[in-house]
Amino acid sequence: MKRIDAITEIAAMAKDSHALLVGNIGVPCKELFSVCDMPGNFYMLGSMGLASSIGLGLALARPDKKVIAIEGDGSVLMNMGSLATIASHKPRNYLLVIIDNGSYGSTGNQPTATSRNTDLAEVAKGAGNKQIRVVDTPLDLRNILQTMDHGIIVVKAEPGNSAVPVIKMSPEGILKRFMDISSRPSH
């Protein structure tokens, strides 16, 4: 499966469930924007490895909303502590989807440790997470997304980027639009 195929499945589920969706740094955000731009999408244009942490913070701040974060294997390797923090808090409204294509896709497809011997599902398990699934086809991902509303999904994908346009919004515009939909109303 290609990363954009996985992103398409995740975005469709997020749209159907009115979830807040945090996209991974760089090209994956552009792919998400190209397949399903929604006000509830937060496009991480910088800060590699923090989509999982931002998603966790949102889930804790908004327990009334479903939150999904898309992270890449390279990004998780940059911030493996987030897996332990997620396990510690156990939010029932948070789903982390790690797209593991064994490469740093946004910087030229250099191989990551997962292309050799690091198993992120086992790392997540070792950090204390209980709900972990591994999939490698769009259909398997679609089926898991329909039944799993919290935990971690590791999606095995091929290396490579899709030819998609840049996001035309400014970082400030992305933030304002997302805050308008994700903030709690003040009374």
CA separation for the pair 40, 180 (Å, rounded):
9
Domain assignment present for 97: yes
Q: Would you state the pLDDT for residue 24?
A: 92
| pLDDT number for residue 45 | 85
126 belongs to a structural domain: yes
Range of the domain at 119: 3-182
> What does the block give as tokens for 2?
């290609």
Residue 51 one-letter amino acid? A
Distance from C-alpha of 171 to C-alpha of 179, rounded to nearest angstrom: 12
- Is residue 164 one of the residues assigned to a domain? yes
* CATH number of the domain where residue 81 is located: 3.40.50.970
Q: Token pair of 65, please?
A: 């909303």
pLDDT tens for the chain, residues 1 to 187 = 999 999 999 999 999 999 999 999 889 999 999 999 999 999 998 888 999 999 999 999 999 999 999 999 999 999 999 999 999 999 999 999 999 999 988 787 899 999 999 999 999 999 999 999 999 999 999 999 999 999 999 999 999 999 999 999 999 999 999 999 998 765 5
* 122 occurs within a structural domain: yes
pLDDT at 186: 59
Count: domains in the chain: 1
pLDDT reported for residue 82: 97
Tell me the two tokens of residue 39. Answer: 């006000």
8 Å CB contact between 22 and 43: no
Q: What is the largest CA-CA distance in the chain?
A: 52
Domain-located, residue 187: no
Beta bridge partners of 71: 98
Question: What angle in degrees, to the nearest 10, is found between the helix axes of 27-35 and 3-17?
Answer: 50
